[in-house]
Structure 1
Amino acid sequence: MKKQIYLTLTIGMMTMLSACESRITQHGNRLDPITLDKLTIGSTKQIEVEALFGKPSTRGAFDSGRIYYIAQQMENAPGKKTALLDRTIVIFAFDDKKTLQSIEFQDENQGRTVFFLDSATPTPGETFGFFDQILGNIQTRQPSQ
């Protein structure tokens, strides 16, 4: 009987621990180097680039003629924050006639880290507490006729 309990506990623990592994996920468009070699600077059109690689991850602001393909690998480890393993950004620059002018490659080391603030922006006016909100709604309610 004791042996059966230990065996059941061992199998149960092994099953639970097997779920505690990291997952590596791929996000974005990872461009094929062989397909990149097919592009010719000065003659390839933007529509051809988008036909080969699909819709870009983002476009440059103010119609700058730049499109960006961003790919990254993330590791989701149990009990830890998601970690960036690899990021590749391929930037295609086009002229006014939508002809390819340059291809630039960047990785995670060339990017900037942006920190977000959790604080709220103060707004003018009154700040209502819990009871103010409840009693205020009762006060403004009009009886139906």
Structure 2
Amino acid sequence: MKHEFRWKTAVLGLFLMLSTACTTLYRNHGYVPPEEELQNIVVGVDTRATVDDVVGPPSTAGVLSDGNYYYVRSRVRHYGALRPEVIERQVLAISFDQADVVANVERFGLQDGQVVVLSRRVTDSSVEGNGFLRQMLGNIGRLDPSTLFGG
């Protein structure tokens, strides 16, 4: 009787763990101002300061040389052990002219299918293909004894 209770408890516990492991989780990242707030921005009239007051400064501003504002929001679905999948992404781009007046307000989504590279920096690594021991042993010949004692 006691073993039967333990067996049922173990099966029930395993079932609960498996059912919760396959639960879909949604995570939201970022912020895009709602359409009601964007209605208060007039292209050709409002300035960067006005945009800051009406919708707030974005977390991604001035990444490119033109200093435009980019508001980005993503919704990611996590399901069990599968790779997380971006199911919704919205990018709001507010561009300014040389006088910091709003020139354009555009909204993009995943359905637009454009990949926008905000920044691309490539640095060549001099340690590529070298293991830890090779790096350590390679430094032995470069040792200058005069620098050890501050001389």
Is TM-score (shorter-chain normalized) higher than 0.5?
Answer: yes
Q: What's the RMSD between the two structures over aligned residues?
A: 3.5
Segments of 5+ residues of structure 2 without an aligned counterpart are 118-122
Which residue does the alignment assign to 2:57? 55
Percent identity of paired positions between Structure 1 and Structure 2: 16
Amino acid at match of 2:64: A
CA–CA distance in 2 between the matches of 1:129 and 1:2? 54
Is the CA contact 1:92–1:103 (under 8 Å) kept in the aligned structure 2?
yes
CA–CA distance in 2 between the matches of 1:128 and 1:35? 55
Which residue does the alignment assign to 2:82? 80
2:50 partner SS: helix
Alignment TM-score, normalising by the size of structure 2: 0.69
Of 26, 29, 37, which aligns to 1:27? 29
CA–CA distance in 2 between the matches of 1:104 and 1:31? 12
Residue 37 in structure 1 maps to residue 9 in structure 2: no
Q: Report the Cα offset of residue 121 of structure 1.
A: 4.9
1:113–1:69: structure 2 CA closer, same or farther, 3 Å change rule?
closer
CA–CA distance in 2 between the matches of 1:135 and 1:43? 63
Segments of 5+ residues of structure 1 without an aligned counterpart are 115-119
Amino acid at match of 2:72: I
Is the CA contact 2:38–2:55 (under 8 Å) kept in the aligned structure 1?
no
1:12–1:113: structure 2 CA closer, same or farther, 3 Å change rule?
farther
Paired positions, count: 136
CA–CA distance in 1 between the matches of 2:98 and 2:116? 32
Alignment TM-score, normalising by the size of structure 1: 0.71
Q: Report the Cα offset of residue 3 of structure 1.
A: 3.4
Q: Deviations over 1:63-116 (max 9, x none)?
A: x242111111111222111211111111111122222121111112332288xx
Which residue does the alignment assign to 2:5? 4
